[in-house]
Structure 1
Amino acid sequence: MLKLNGKVWIASLLALIGLFGSSLPQAALAAPNQPDIARGVLVRDESGDTTTPIKHVIVIIGENHTYDNVFGTYQPVHGQSVNNLLSEGIVTPSGNLGPNVSKAEQKTATDTKTYNLKPKKTGAYNTLPQPNTTYAQGQPQNVPDARFPANLPNGPYQITKYVPYLNSYVGDPIHRFYQMWQQQDGGKADLYTWVHQTAGDDNGANPPKPIYQGALSMGYYNMSTGDAPYFKQLADTYSSSDNYHQAVMGGTGANHIMLGTGDAAYYQNAQGQPTVPPSNQIENPNPKPGTNNNYTQDGYSGGSYSNCSDRSQPGVGPVQRYIHSLPYAPFRNGDCAPGAYYLLNNYLPGYTPSGQLSSGTPYIVPPQQFPTIGDELSARNVTWKYYGQGMNDGKTPSPYFCGICDPFQYATSIMTTKLKNNLQDFTQFQKDVTNNTLPAVSFIKPDEIHDGHPASSSLSIFENYSKDIVTEVQSNPKLFKDTAIFITFDEGGGYYDSGYIQPLTFFGDGPRIPLMLVSPYAKRGYVDHTYNDHVSLLKFIETNWRLHPLSSRSLDNLPNPRMSDRNPYKPTNGPAIGNLMEMFNFHQDR
């Protein structure tokens, strides 16, 4: 989310930093042998039985931290291994650079004509530029952050060597779609700093004046010296993953939509047919004339949609050529349909929490026709709710409520039916726990004060928010005995991560993000290496309650990964994503 002057301005005249993919009308995109699922016509199953002892799933979604940013120096319990900055020798437990820091060395490059995923390298940074404050609370705005050195060594640096862990606000790295593809440099992950120094929007300045963010993206928290103590405790006591990914390159909106649908959003008319958005809302990451990689139109200036089925469109060709050059074919059903303009930066959903059509800005995603996990659960009489902090039950939501984060507010099937009543304020979650009325599936979204988003929140605040929820559920033994609590983040927020990324479609996957499982059935201290992403949460819910994939396009159709002992992180049958079952032990003595 873009946050200005301590507030969230969602889908204002400045488009937000997220990213969207999108889904065409399901009837138009359906596989011939799946017409009913594709149209969202779901078969009823009254049983409500589960395939495991888990009767309650709770998903808590924070904001904007990669796995290495939080777990970069995590040392697992005896018998477990992990892939992170420390295990790779990139950093040391004390937060200094390690012997293999060259793996994370940041390069300089030049790109002055057309957007390029692998621009020509011009060298490496001698030292990293000073991180920028952006809009960090309590700091001067959009200036080099004087709390950090101006000559950081070229590699990841420990944030808390310079600012305290608790309740400290640091700048917000840019993290939009084309930027995140470019900073990966085809898997080398060596252009994070260069992209953040060049691609940022200049808000229409003439001559162009890019936003120079310095080395914001290279910061990490150090568990070895005491940062994120509660998350470390959860990983030591229960289960975590070091191969769980954001499902879409880019930011908040698209990843929340994917988490609820396994799909994405596109510009469409009232009949669900793809149409062309206004020209000022079409993405163009080609460099402005006379600049090195300063994008022509990227998010903040009004966009951005891309017709990603047309390789001649700005930015599209390089991404499509890269994913189609891989040794496996991408998931074609979930890729770009002809004529569809997919949203790659955050806009408001088509509906308000109360079910009214959104208004007041041109930057609104038209109501979407895709089926959601809420539709499928309701069709099988499995209860569910989305608890949004600050939603206020749809009556004048708090200014800190995340309007772009609720995947169900985008869907006509939810917001024009009684299912919209399943969207409730977070205060109702606390009542439901106390009264033993918690639904089978719960999604919890903190507001911008508590979500951990850099600049407007902090990792420590989200850590304590998660702790309060876990403690509350654990204090109800009747509830906790058959519950699985998943704690994750919507996306990496532009922070550096050293892990492998498996491209599935044009839209992603993106970098690794943390995932922790708290449950009596979690494997103790286990670090799961299975390749997973946000849609793995859908696959777990679907497997547990015997549900169908949501549509022929949704990524929950992908098979579970087959992993080799030689490389447990990279599926041998890609594209493939897991269903999180490996994190559980359902055969333990009770």
Structure 2
Amino acid sequence: MRKHTKRLLSTAGVGSLAVSTIAAGMIGFGMTPASANDDHGGTTTPIKHVVVIFGENVSFDHYFATYPQAANTAGETQQGTGIAAPIFTAAKNTPKNIATLAHDNLLAPNNPNSVQPGRLSPSQAITCDQDHEYTAEQKAYNGGLMDKFVQNTSMDACTGGQFGRPGLTMDYYDGNTVTGIWNYAQNFAMSDSHFSTTFGPSSPGALNLVSGQTHGVTEFTATGQPVKPAASDYTVKFPDANGVGTMTEDPDPVYDDCSNKSHASKNNLAGMQGKNIGDLLNDKGVSWGWFQGGFAPTTAATTTTPAACQATHTNIAGATVTDYSPHHEPFQYYQSTANPHHLAPASMAEIGHDGQANHQYDTTDFAKVVNSDTMPAVSFLKAGSYQDGHAGYSDPLDEQKFITQQVNAIQNSKNWNSTAVILAYDDSDGWYDHVAAGVKNSSNTSDDAAWCLNAYNQGVPMAGGYADRCGPGPRQPLVVISPFAKKNYVDHTQTTQSSILRFIEDNWHTGQLRDGSADATAGSIKAMFNFENQRDIKLILNESNGTVVSRGKGDDEQ
């Protein structure tokens, strides 16, 4: 999400009439032809359903610093409930060669940063939000030394009962708090080499998931009028003569009535040119949808007034949080895949298909189809803000409830045997992580620090010639949950957010997005699967604490 101390765009109303009159301005990039053999009735693998649960703002070390060893400190309780924190005991055959802080001997007192890493307890789930801007994250890398996080991304004090301390960015949770995701890793497959496609916050991360592209953005006023480059408030970085540039911040989408509703100021908005994975799936007739908490409007649009999305929930600290965050919804930046007025599907049969909702839905709509023959082939699930895991207004315990609820429902559905659930994140929030991927896509602007500038000067290419797309960025968790996922497996293949995009493209023969999209070079996540061995597993977790309730008959023991 946007950094709270330097908000370039807030969330103000785009009138429904203004949105409807915005010119499309889309540039088609074309597709490469499908080349894989179709051995599975329309897909290249036995996977017929992909569900991406896309969380907020977590680095790999923030959740896995000591995996698979938890502190199991006596007497600890979970924030918000006061119930005893769960004990976590790792399986004996858990892989040992995992790039964690513990494995690489970078816990206290051996860390090169000015503050040593510290464990956050289950009673410290709500913390301050960290600095996760494009430049700040690069500066934290300090040319690859990974030792300037405290100076550049740590936000140590905040209000509203959130936990903070000097050097907070260095801190991490273990299996006594993020119990659910550790249990998924124990029973399915995880990666210790998965990264943001580029540096920066939520909106670029979401765009990299669905298009592998943060270039192609145009700026609009709060009323939906195009902005000339000279009048830009820097929503668009380094625009060309036509005002088209790169997104590195968190502007709200122009094709969304509910943009700019959460703040008094009405700042400029953004629209993307080009295509995304939704366009490619539509071209192939493959069902798909983005399902986000709070997408259903609290006030419907009329011919003269836009819809409003003001539903709220309370997090474990008792804070009231607005469910819907427009800049977390990447398909709303593209006119071709937007549902500006947040129209509900006309019927259950429309979900996943063309119709008035245009593939954009509330999470309640996913619950209607998960156990049906009409469950979409590709589904993206985004929690309401209080459950999305974003520090400041959400937390790992609220996030765990959403993830386990969705995964339990999928496993209990008729579609489980052909499904892959992918747990991934949009950015790192600026939380410390000690592993840097070598720069694969360089940049050379005033926004770039030594990590990216040195790569550019050494001849690392800049895809499409588009600046401010330096990456890969920070390392993040990635977990694959499926009957075809390898058991208790850790993949070391270097992947990015756009690797998920590439898997969907390859599985459904869509071809790739061009014009420098990161899908062309994204590493494969297929090593996390064994498509020749469908396991008899149904791992049902407790939605309150992430502990194991039951496993499949043939998969009871680790």
Q: TM-score, normalised by structure 2?
A: 0.69
Query: After the TM superposition, which residues 291-330 of structure 1 pair with which residues of structure 2 at under 5 Å, given as runs?
Result: 304-307=235-238
Partner of 1:429: 366
- 5+ residue gaps, structure 2: 13-24, 69-89, 158-163, 301-307, 312-321, 340-353, 444-468, 536-558
Does the alignment pair 1:386 with 2:290?
yes
| 1:82-121 equivalence runs, <5 A | 82-91=98-107, 97=108, 101=110, 104-106=111-113
How far, CA to CA, are the matches of 1:517 and 1:197 in structure 2?
Answer: 30
- Which of 132, 153, 156 aligns to 2:117? It is 156
Deviation at 1:412, TM superposition (A): 1.6
The Cα of 1:198 is off from its aligned counterpart by 9.8
Q: Does the alignment pair 1:255 with 2:185?
A: no
Q: Aligned partners of 1:232 and 1:358: how far apart in 2?
A: 34
Q: Offset at 1:557? A: 1.2
Superposed displacement of residue 197, structure 1:
6.3
Structure 1 position 61 matched with structure 2 position 80: no
2:481 is aligned with 1:518: yes
How many angstroms apart in 2 are the aligned matches of 1:353 and 1:510?
31
- Counterpart contact for 1:383–1:441, Cα < 8 Å: yes
Amino acid paired to 1:64: N
Q: Partner letter of residue 443 of structure 1? A: F
Distance 1:219 1:277, change over 3 A: farther
Contact 2:219-2:269 within 8 A present in 1 as well: no
Alignment match, 1:220:
172
CA contact (8 A) 1:452 1:458 kept: yes
Cα distance change of structure 1 residues 267 and 486 upon mapping to structure 2, 3 Å threshold: closer
SS of the residue 1:375 aligns to: helix
Distance 1:367 1:393, change over 3 A: same
**1:266 Cα deviation after fit:** 4.5
Counterpart in the other structure of 2:494: 531
Which aligned pairs between 1:186-585 and structure 2 lie closer than 5 A?
186-196=143-153, 214-223=166-175, 226-268=176-218, 276=229, 278=231, 281-282=233-234, 304-307=235-238, 340-352=244-256, 363-392=267-296, 395=300, 396-397=308-309, 398=311, 399-415=322-338, 418=355, 420-476=357-413, 478-505=414-441, 506=443, 507=469, 508-558=471-521, 577-585=522-530
Percent identity at matched positions?
Answer: 27
| Alignment partner, residue 11 of structure 1 | 10
Q: How much has 1:39 moved relative to structure 2?
A: 5.4
Matched position secondary structure for 1:527: strand
Distance 2:44 2:406 in 1: 26
Counterpart-to-counterpart distance in 2, 1:342 and 1:491: 17
Give the partner amino acid of 1:519. Answer: S
Distance 1:361 1:378, change over 3 A: farther
Relative to structure 1, is the Cα distance of residues 580 and 483 closer, same or farther in structure 2, using a 3 angstrom cutoff? Answer: same
Letter paired with 1:255: G
Matched with 1:70 is 63
1:434, CA displacement in angstroms?
3.3
- Per-residue deviation, 1:463: 1.5
Alpha-carbon distance in structure 2 between the residues aligned to 1:500 and 1:269? 32
Is 1:38 the counterpart of 2:29 in the alignment? Answer: yes
In the alignment, the residues of structure 1 paired with residue 60 and residue 510 of structure 2 have an alpha-carbon distance, to the nearest angstrom, of: 30
Separation of aligned partners in 1, 2:144 and 2:403: 32
Q: Quick one: which amino acid aligns to residue 381 of structure 2? A: I
Residue 387 of structure 1 aligns to a residue in which SS?
strand
How far apart, in 1, do the equivalents of 2:8 and 2:473 lie? 25
| SS in structure 2 at match of 1:60 | strand
Q: What's the offset of the Cα at 1:547?
A: 1.4
Distance 1:418 1:338, change over 3 A: same
Q: Find runs of 4+ consecutive structure 1 residues off by over 6 angstroms.
A: 40-43, 197-200, 353-360
One-letter amino acid matched to 1:70: Y
Cα separation, partners in 2 of 1:10 and 1:519, compared to 1, 3 Å: farther
Q: State how far apart, in whole Å, the 2-side matches of 1:257 and 1:338 are.
A: 21
What SS does structure 2 have at the residue aligned with 1:367?
A: strand
* Residue 391 of structure 1: how far off its partner (Å): 0.4
Deviation at 1:247, TM superposition (A): 1.6
Q: Does the CA contact (< 8 Å) of 1:274 and 1:341 recur in 2?
A: no
The separation in 2 between residues aligned to 1:489 and 1:557, in whole angstroms, is 20
1:401/1:439 CA distance change after superposition, 3 Å: same
Distance change in 2, residues 1:583/1:589 (3 Å): closer
Paired residues of 2:61 and 2:100 also in contact (CA < 8 A) = yes
Q: Is the 8 A contact 1:484 1:518 kept in 2?
A: yes
Tell me the SS of whatever aligns to 1:449. Answer: helix
Does the 8 A contact of 1:262 with 1:556 survive in 2? yes
The answer (yes or no) to whether the contact 2:218–2:243 under 8 Å persists in 1 is: no
Q: CA deviation at 1:268?
A: 3.0
Distance 2:435 2:54 in 1: 21
Alignment deviations for residues 54-74 of structure 1 (CA, whole Å, 9 cap, x no partner): 000000011111000001111
Residue 141 of structure 2 corresponds to 184
Task: Tell me which amino acid in the other structure corresponds to 1:454.
Answer: A
Query: Cα RMSD over matched residues?
Result: 3.7
Secondary structure of the structure 2 residue equivalent to 1:11: coil
Deviation of 1:363 (Å): 3.1
- Residue 81 of structure 2 corresponds to none
The one-letter code matched in structure 2 to 1:11 is S
> In 2 relative to 1, CA 365–261 (structure 1 residues): closer, same or farther, beyond 3 Å?
farther
Partner AA of 1:164 in structure 2: S
Equivalent pair of 1:382/1:440 in contact (CA under 8 Å): yes
CA deviations 1:421-448 (Å, max 9, x no partner) are: 2101100111111334210000000111
Q: In structure 1, what residue type is equivalent to 2:118?
A: Y
Structure 1 residue 455: Cα displacement? 1.6
Matched residue SS, 2:66: coil
> What is the alpha-carbon distance in structure 1 between the residues aligned to residue 214 and residue 361 of structure 2?
23
Q: Judge conservation of contact 1:354–1:420 (CA < 8 Å) in 2.
A: no
Contact 2:219 2:227 in 1 (8 A): yes
Q: Deviation per CA, 1:442-496: give whole Å up to 9, x if none.
A: 00001111011112111121112101111111111x2100000001121110100
Contact 1:369–1:413 (8 Å) recurs in 2:
no
**8 Å contact from structure 1 (residues 266, 274) kept in 2:** no
* Counterparts of 1:217 and 1:358, CA distance in 2: 27
CA separation of 1:466 and 1:269: change in aligned 2, threshold 3 A = closer
Q: CA shift at 1:509, angstroms? A: 1.6
SS at match of 1:258: helix
User: Aligned AA for 2:191?
Assistant: S
